Amino acid sequence: MSYFQTSGLVKIRFPSHLTSGLWTVEEKLKKSTFSIPKLAFFLILICVEPRKKCDILSFLRKRRIIRDSNADTGQIESILDQLVINHIIVPFTPQQDHSSFNPDKWKSRDWDAAAHYHFFTWYIPFLNYSEGQSGYARSSQNMLQYHLEQPDDQRFKSYDTFLYRELLSYSQNTPSSLKEKLHLIFLLAFTKIREVPCHWSKIPLIRRTSPSGGSRHPTEGYFLSKIKEIPPGLHHIQMDPPQLVHLSVNTDTNFLEVCDSNTIGFIILTSIFERNMYKYRGSRAFRVIHMDIGHIIGTIEQLGLIFGMKTHVHFNFNELKLLESIGVSKSQEGVMAVISMSLKLYKSEFKC
């Protein structure tokens, strides 16, 4: 027998001046908002837990909701059908996976907010950049207008206060020392390779090895060294000029629950959201950040493989501790990933 359950992708809005005094419900998969009768509101609440149709009707009768709303069984079934058609309530049988997207699975792994964002931004239309279309002209005009409102001058992060800094360098020969290998990884993953003119600002755009959307390059890199070849502590991998900026001697690794005893250091990847938000002023800005991060992670993994290093990407960490060590707030930068690096294959895990 079929059950009915409220979709995990809906949100009820109570009557207010924002809803013109109506009961409304948002359905995020199709990004639709519906005005609903109060009886539909009760059905949505009742079906938060899976219920058979007969149990739904029984529930309404026992609480006199049917009588108070002057509705009959046929009207209730009609409202339920409409809620199902619009994916607000989902029919299913317990033996089947009734939905290609199950928000409860995401929620059990603390990804419910990400799931809602993902589906809310799924079908947002792109500008058309094909030949003869208006995508480029529209984008160019937007950037000119944005620059008049606020100068577009954020290209990379730099520090005025630090313990020490060292230029990242490499030779034409294959790097042999551990320091040379790490320097080359930092250079290829994070630093500027060239500039291109910017028609809306005097400050040129930057090119890195990662093809960042709109040349926004929101990703910043840090290296927490645990080796003597690079002074132990936290370093910022500065994009331009390419250098390691020693920020602190703190080598605490309590932002991870476990790590390998052979770890030589951690690359911490953050995103400065404002850079992407400047150009992508819709809900897609956050999505583009993940593409940027993903490409850089892939670069580091491949270079680590070439240089005989073991890399392991962590997405589960204490972000607040990391932000505190970097000296920024969550609204300025968000930690997206941590890559641990070692010279030997993992055999066991230990507390650092």
- Residues 161 and 305 reside in one and the same domain: yes
Kindly state the percentage of the chain with pLDDT values over 70.
90
Q: Are 156 and 238 in contact (CB under 8 A)?
A: yes
Residue 16 inside a domain? The answer is: yes
Q: What's the whole-number mean pLDDT along residues 163-187?
A: 91
Give which of 193, 205, 191 is closest to 153, Cα–Cα. Answer: 205
Kindly state the DSSP code that residue 204 receives in the 8-state scheme: P
Q: Which domain holds residue 83?
A: 3-101
Convert 26-36 to b/e letters by CB count within 10 Å (16 or more is b).
bbbbeeeebeb
Residue 113 inside a domain? The answer is: no
- Residues 79 and 226 reside in one and the same domain: no
- Residues 166 and 297 reside in one and the same domain: yes
- What confidence tens digit (pLDDT) does each residue in 194-206 have? 999 999 999 999 9
- Residues 96 and 166 reside in one and the same domain: no
pLDDT above 80 for 291: yes
pLDDT at residue 262 in the model: 85
- What confidence tens digit (pLDDT) does each residue in 71-121 have? 788 888 999 999 999 989 988 776 554 455 566 677 777 777 777 777 667
pLDDT class of 350 with cuts at 50, 70, 90: very low
Of 13-17, 65-69, 74-78, give the lowest mean pLDDT range: 65-69
CATH number of the domain where residue 269 is located: 3.40.109.10
State the average pLDDT for the chain: 87
Q: Which residue has the higher pLDDT, 115 or 149?
A: 149
- Residues 167 and 87 reside in one and the same domain: no
Residue 120 inside a domain? The answer is: no
Cα–Cα distance, 44 to 6 (Å, whole number)? 6
Convert 301-338 to b/e letters by CB count within 10 Å (16 or more is b).
eebbeebebbbbebeebeeeebbebbebeeeebbbbbb
Give pTM, 2 decimals: 0.72
Cα–Cα distance, 196 to 52 (Å, whole number)? 62
Q: What's the whole-number mean pLDDT along residues 48-67?
A: 84
CATH number of the domain where residue 47 is located: 3.90.930
pLDDT above 70 for 349: no
Residue 245 inside a domain? The answer is: yes
Of 40-54, 111-125, 208-222, 310-324, give the lowest mean pLDDT range: 111-125
pLDDT above 50 for 240: yes
Residue 89 inside a domain? The answer is: yes
- Residues 84 and 9 reside in one and the same domain: yes
Q: Are 156 and 240 in contact (CB under 8 A)?
A: yes
Number of structural domains the chain divides into: 2
Give which of 103, 81, 78, 87 is closest to 32, Cα–Cα. Answer: 87
What residues are paired with 334 via a beta bridge?
271
pLDDT above 80 for 144: yes
- Residues 180 and 273 reside in one and the same domain: yes
pLDDT above 50 for 347: no
Q: How many CB atoms lie within 10 A of CB 237?
A: 24
Domain boundary among 85, 101, 117: 101
Residue 352 inside a domain? The answer is: no
The contacts of residue 48 (CB under 8 Å, 6+ apart) are 5, 6
- What confidence tens digit (pLDDT) does each residue in 299-336 have? 999 999 999 999 999 999 999 999 999 999 988 999 99
